[in-house]
Structure 1
Amino acid sequence: MNLKFSHKILLAASGVVVLAFALFTLYNDYLQRNTIARSLESSIEQSGDLTASSVQNWMSGRILVLENLAQNIAHQGSGADLPGLVDQPALTSNFQFTYVGQANGVFTQRPDAKMPDGYDPRQRPWYKQAVSADKTMLTPPYSAAVGGLVVTIALPVKHNGELLGVVGGDLSLETLVKIINSVDFGGIGHAFLVSGDGQVIVSPDKDQVMKNLKDIYPGTPVRIGKGIQEVELNGQDRILSFTPVTGLPNAEWHIGLSIDKDKAYAPLSQFRTSALIAMFVAVAAIALLLSLLIQVLMRPLTTMGRAMQDIAQGEGDLTRRLVVQGKDEFAVLGGSFNQFVERIHASISEVSSATRQVHDLSQRVMSSSNASLVGSDEQSARTNSVAAAINQLGAATQEIARNAADASQHASGASEQADDGRQVVEKPSRP
C-alpha cells in the first residue's frame, strides 16, 4: 500500500493516541475494578452484619419473651393458669401462635384454633426436639397444621426436675421476609436466609424457598462461609456472600447476599464505553487538526518535491532557488537543495560550453572531411585511370611476351637450320 508521508504521520499519530487511550483505559479499568470490588465487599460485609444483627436481635427478643413464659409456668407448677399466661399481649403480638404442650397431652394455644382430631403435641417435632435437647431450641422451617410455613422456638418446662411440658411459639416466615427485604442494595441484589446445611429459609424469590443451594446453583459448588464467591444462575453471573447469625440456640443460620455482578460493575462498563467514545472523538479531532497542520508544515517539502520533479522531467529552471526561512530541518534541506541545484546548474553550464566547443570542432572536422572526400573522389578517378592504363600496359606486355616467345621459337629454328647449313658447308668433298 503506497501512502504519502503525511498519511503515515496521521496513521502514526492516530496509533499513538489509540495506544495512549488504551493504556489509560486499561489502567483506570484496573483501578476502578479494584475500587468497586473493595467498595462492594465492604458494603456486602456491612449489610450482612447489620442484617444478621437485626435477625439475631429480633429472634433473641422473642426467645426471651418465650423463656419468661416458661419460667412463669415452672414457678406456678402444674396448677398454672396456662390460658391466661399464654394469652399475654407480649406473646400474641410477637408470635403467630403461642402454645404449651403438656406432658399429659393437653394442648393450650393462643390465638385459639381448632386442631385436627387426635392432635397430640407430644408427637410433634418441636416437642420431641425440645425434650431431647433439654434447652431452648429453634426448629427448621416446617409446615404447621394451621398457619403455613413457620419456624418454632421451643423449650422444656420443668418444675423441681419434673417435665411439665414444652412451651412453643411459631414465628411466621413473613416477618423474617420483611426483615430480609429491608436490605437495600439499590436494585442490584437481595438478601436471603439460609440454614447451615444450605436450605433456603427466607428469600424474595419464592421459588427458592425450602430448596438447597446445590439445587439452585447446580453448576457451581457454593461454600457457606466468609468471603465473596462468584456463581452462575440462569446464565447470569452473581456474587454471593454469607454472614452467620450468632446467638441462636440449636440452629445455624446465615444471611446470604446475592448480587448481580453486571449491575454491580455497571459503572465500570459505563467508563469503558465513555473511554471508547472519547478515544474515537480524540482520534478524529487529532487527525483533522494534524492534517491541517501537516499541510502547513509540509509546504516547503512539497515545493521542493515539485522543483525536483521539474528537474526530473527535464523542464526544470535551474536558475530558480527555494526560499529558505528559519533554521529547522526543512530550512537545512532547502539550503542543501539550493546548493545541489546550483552545482547541477554549474555542471550543466560547463557541459553546455564544452558541448558547443565540441560542436564547433565537429563542424570543422566535418568540413575537412567533406573536402577530403572531394579530393578522395578525384584521386579515386585518377587511380582508376592509372589502373586502367596499367591493365592496358599489362595486356600489351603479355602480347609482347607472346611475340617474343614466337620470335624466340623462330630464332631457335633458324639457328638449328644455320647449324645444319654450317655442317653441310664444312663437310669435305669427296675426291
Structure 2
Amino acid sequence: MNKKRISLATKLSIGVSLIILLVVALAVNLTAHFFSQYCLDNFYESAETAISEFSDSISMFFDSKKVELNVFAESDQVKAADESIHSFVNETGTIQILGYEKSPVEEEIRKICKSFAKNDKDIAEIYLGTKWGGYATNFDSSMNGGYDPRKRGWYETANKGNGKVMITDAFASTVGTTVVGITRCAYNEGGEFIGNASIEVSLETLNTILEGMKLGKDSFFMMIQKDGIVLADTGIKKSNFKKISEIGIPDLETFFTGSETKGSIVVPGGKYSKYITKKITNPKTDYQIIALCPYDTVYATFFTTLNTTVSICVIFAIIVALGTALVTRKVIRPLKTIRNNISDNAAQIAQGKANLTDRIFIKSKNEIGDVADSFNVFIEKLQDIIRNMKQTKTALNLAGSKLNDSTSETMAAITQISASIEDVGKNLSSQNGEVSKTASSVKHILGSISSLEELVASQAESVEGASSAVEQMIGNISEVNRSVEKMAASFSVLEADAQSGAKTQEELQNQITEIDNQSKLLSEANAVIASIAEQTNLLAMNAAIEAAHAGEAGKGFAVVADEIRKLSETSSTQSKTIGEQLNRIQNTIGTVVEATQKGVQGYAHLANEIHETDSLVRHIRAAMTEQQEGSTQITTALHGMNDSTQQVQNASKEMTADSRTIMNEISLLQNKSSNMQQGIREMSASAEKINLLGNSLSEISRLMEDSIGKMGQQVDQFEV
C-alpha cells in the first residue's frame, strides 16, 4: 500500500509562507506597538496644546475683567458711596428698582454700572453692595425684599481679599443666570471701607471658544469648577452646571479628583464606551479643562494603517508561496526522475530481473545533477562487481576439486610430523630447567639496584622542589620590587599634583571672593529697580483714576495706564525674584568659600602624607633588593646540588635499565621455552585433530561446490 505523501514542493511552499507570515507578524506587532503609542502621544500633545491655549484664554478673560472691576471700584462714583444707597434688607415682597426714588449718589453709581455693562457684553450684572446694606446695580428689573448683600457669598469672598480682586465659584445670580463673580473691596477717598464691588460675568464667551475646539471626530471638552460643578460641556449639554458625581460617569469623577493628567475613562451607555482623556488646571481660577476623545478616533489612523499593512502582507505571502511552489516544482523535476529510476531498479531486483545497464540522464548542473552522476557511478561499480563475481564462480569450482585431492596427501604428512614433535619436546624440558636457575640470580641483582634508584630519585625530587620554591620566591621578590618602584614614582606624581591642587584651590577662592563682591553690587541695583517699579505702579494708578474721571474720552488713556500698571507689577515681581535669587547666590558663594578653604587645608595635609609614604616605600625597595641578592645565591647552590643528584640518578637508571633488559631477555627465553614446550603438546594434539578434520574436508569440498552453484544462480540474474 502506498503511503499518503506531501510533495517536497508543497512542504517548501508552506514552510516559506509560514516564515514570511511569522516575520510579517513580528514586524506588524512591533510597528503596531510603536505606532499606537505614537497615536496616543500625538493625541496627548494636541490636547495639551489646545487646552493650554484655552487656559490662557481663561486667564486673559479674567484678567480683563479684573481691570474693569479695578477701574469701577476706584471710580469717584463708587468712592462717594454712602448710606443713601437704597437697601432691601428690611423690605418684603417684590420691589421694582425703577419704582423708588434714588439718591444722587446711587444714580451716579447706576450710570457708571450701565456704562460698563453696555461696553462689555460678557457682563451679566455689575453692582456695589455697601457695608450699610445698600445695593446699586445696572439692572432696572425687580428685587426680592430682604436681600442683604452682606450675607451673599460674593461679599464674603471679597472680604477675604482685603482689597485684592477675588474670583467666586459659579452661582445663580439675581437675574436668573449662572455666572461667576469677580469681586473686591471698595474704599472711599479717605481709605475707609465702604463695601464690595462686583462684576458677574457669563461664561458664554468661554463656552463658545470651547465649542469651537476639536481634536477629532466626536471629541469634546469639559470645564469643571474645583468643587465639581460642570461649567461647560460641549459633548453632553445636559450636564452643564451639575455636580460631576450626578452625571453618571464614575471614571470621570475619579479622573477629576486624581493627580493624573492623562488617562482613559469608560462612559456607560454612551455612543462610545471608552474615551482617552487629558486635563489641565487653570492656575488663575483652578478650573479643570478636560479633553475627551473616543478611543476609536484616537487610534483611527493606527487601525487603518494596520489593516492596510496586514492585507498587503497577506497578499505578498500568498504571491511568494505561489512563486516558491512554481520554482520548487521546476527545480525538483529531475529529482523525481531519479526517484522513479531507483524505484524501478529496486522492483526489478525484487523480481529477480535486475538490469544494471540502465543509466539516469539529467542535464542539471547543480546538486541534483551531482546525485544523478553519483548514482550512475554506483551502478557502474556494482556492474563491475557482479561481472567479476561471475568470473570468480568458475575459478572457485576448480579450486574446490583441487582442495579435495590435496586433503589425502596432507594426512600422510601429518603422521610423520607427530613423531618428530615428541623428540623435540624432551629436549625443551631439559633446557627450561637451566633457564629458571639463571632467572633467580638476575632477580636478586635487580632488587638491589631498584632500592638504590628510589633513594636517588627521592633526593633529586627534594632538591628540585627546593630549587623551584627559591626561584619562585625570587620571582615574587622581583615582582614586588617592580611594584614598589611604580608606587614610588606614583607617589612623586601624587605629591606634585597635590601641591598643584592646593595652588588651584587658592586661585579659585580668590575668584569666588570677587564674584561675591559683584553679587552685592547686583543686589544694590535690584533694590533701585524695585523702587522704580513701585513708583511706576503709583503713577499707573493715578493715571487710571484720571482716565476714569475723563469718562469716554479717557478710555484710551485708561488702557495705556493699565499696561503701565501691568509692566510695573511685572517689574516688581521680577525684582523680588531677582532679589531672592541673588540672596541664594550669595549664600551659596559663602558656602563655596568655606568649602574651598577646607580644600586648601586638605591638599596641604595630603601632600605631607604622600611625602611620608614615599619615604617608607623607598626603604622597602632597598630591603627587597638585599633579599633578592641573598635568594639568588641560594638558588645557585641548589642548582649545583640538583646537577650532581641528576648525574647519580641517571647512572642508577642506566644500571636498572641494563638489569631489566637482562631480566627481560631471560624471561623471554624462559617464556619461549615454555611456549615451545606447550606448542609441541598443542602440535601433537592438533595433528590428531587434523587427522580427524581431513576426513571432513571432502564433505566441505562438496558443500562448497553446492554453495558456489547457488551463488552463481543469484549472480546470473543481473544483466551486465
CA distance in 1, matches of 2:321, 2:211: 54
For residues 107-126 of structure 1, the aligned pairs below 5 Å read 107-126=135-154
Match of 1:200 in 2: 230
* Equivalent of residue 64 in structure 2, options 61, 65, 79: 61
- SS for the counterpart of 1:88 is helix
For residues 150-189 of structure 1, the aligned pairs below 5 Å read 150-159=179-188, 160-187=190-217, 189=219
Q: Which moved more, 1:121-130 or 1:270-279?
A: 121-130
Q: 8 Å contact 2:335–2:368 — kept in the other structure?
A: yes
Letter in 2 for 1:340: F
Q: 1:326 to 1:303 in 2, by over 3 A?
A: closer
Q: Which moved more, 1:73-82 or 1:9-18?
A: 73-82
Q: Deviation of residue 188 (structure 1)?
A: 5.2
Match of 1:130 in 2: 158
Match of 1:45 in 2: 48
Letter in 1 for 2:240: V
Q: Does 1:285 align with 2:319?
A: yes
Q: Deviation of residue 356 (structure 1)?
A: 11
Q: 8 Å contact 2:111–2:138 — kept in the other structure?
A: no
Q: 8 Å contact 1:99–1:168 — kept in the other structure?
A: yes
Q: 8 Å contact 2:78–2:109 — kept in the other structure?
A: no
Q: 1:203 to 1:300 in 2, by over 3 A?
A: same
Report Cα offsets for 1:205-254 as digits up to 9, x if no partner.
224333444565424732555632222222723222222223x3xx4222
* Equivalent of residue 210 in structure 1, options 222, 225, 241: 241
Match of 2:441 in 1: none
Q: Deviation of residue 312 (structure 1)?
A: 2.8
- SS for the counterpart of 1:141 is strand
Q: 8 Å contact 1:240–1:259 — kept in the other structure?
A: yes
Q: 1:2 to 1:188 in 2, by over 3 A?
A: farther
Q: 8 Å contact 2:277–2:291 — kept in the other structure?
A: yes
Q: Deviation of residue 352 (structure 1)?
A: 7.7
Q: Deviation of residue 187 (structure 1)?
A: 2.3
Q: 1:316 to 1:227 in 2, by over 3 A?
A: farther
* Equivalent of residue 260 in structure 1, options 294, 300, 322: 294
Q: Does 1:83 align with 2:110?
A: yes
CA distance in 1, matches of 2:140, 2:63: 25
- Percent of paired sites with the same residue: 21
For residues 262-341 of structure 1, the aligned pairs below 5 Å read 262-314=296-348, 318-341=356-379
Q: TM-score, normalized by length of structure 2?
A: 0.45
Q: Does 1:147 align with 2:150?
A: no
- SS for the counterpart of 1:298 is helix
Give the number of equivalent residue pairs: 356
* Equivalent of residue 121 in structure 2, options 93, 110, 118: 93
Letter in 2 for 1:128: E
Q: Deviation of residue 77 (structure 1)?
A: 4.2
- SS for the counterpart of 1:87 is helix
* Equivalent of residue 236 in structure 1, options 273, 276, 283: 273
Q: 8 Å contact 1:144–1:150 — kept in the other structure?
A: yes
Q: Does 1:24 align with 2:27?
A: yes
Q: 8 Å contact 1:71–1:157 — kept in the other structure?
A: yes
Q: Deviation of residue 52 (structure 1)?
A: 0.3
- Give the gaps of 5 or more residues in structure 2: 83-104, 397-720
Q: 8 Å contact 1:322–1:338 — kept in the other structure?
A: yes
Letter in 1 for 2:273: Q
- SS for the counterpart of 1:115 is strand
Q: Deviation of residue 346 (structure 1)?
A: 4.5
CA distance in 1, matches of 2:394, 2:306: 76
Q: Deviation of residue 258 (structure 1)?
A: 1.7
Q: Deviation of residue 115 (structure 1)?
A: 2.6
CA distance in 1, matches of 2:144, 2:60: 34
Q: Deviation of residue 267 (structure 1)?
A: 1.5
- Give the gaps of 5 or more residues in structure 1: 359-431
Match of 1:393 in 2: none
CA distance in 1, matches of 2:250, 2:239: 13
Q: Deviation of residue 110 (structure 1)?
A: 2.3
Letter in 1 for 2:17: S
Q: Deviation of residue 350 (structure 1)?
A: 6.3
Q: Give the number of the structure whose residues are more often helix, by fraction.
A: 2
CA distance in 2, matches of 1:226, 1:169: 34
Q: 8 Å contact 1:152–1:168 — kept in the other structure?
A: yes
Q: 1:2 to 1:199 in 2, by over 3 A?
A: farther
Q: TM-score, normalized by length of structure 1?
A: 0.73
Q: 1:210 to 1:343 in 2, by over 3 A?
A: farther
CA distance in 2, matches of 1:198, 1:280: 51
- SS for the counterpart of 1:165 is strand
Q: 8 Å contact 1:198–1:224 — kept in the other structure?
A: no
Q: Deviation of residue 311 (structure 1)?
A: 1.9
Q: Give the number of the structure whose residues are more often strand, by fraction.
A: 1
Match of 2:715 in 1: none
Q: 8 Å contact 1:226–1:243 — kept in the other structure?
A: no
Q: Deviation of residue 339 (structure 1)?
A: 2.0
Q: Deviation of residue 349 (structure 1)?
A: 5.8
Please tell me whether Structure 1 or Structure 2 has the larger radius of gyration of its CA atoms. Answer: 1
Q: Deviation of residue 354 (structure 1)?
A: 8.7
- SS for the counterpart of 1:97 is strand
Report Cα offsets for 1:180-206 as digits up to 9, x if no partner.
222221325222212234432211122
- SS for the counterpart of 1:14 is helix
Q: 1:121 to 1:287 in 2, by over 3 A?
A: same
CA distance in 2, matches of 1:88, 1:118: 28
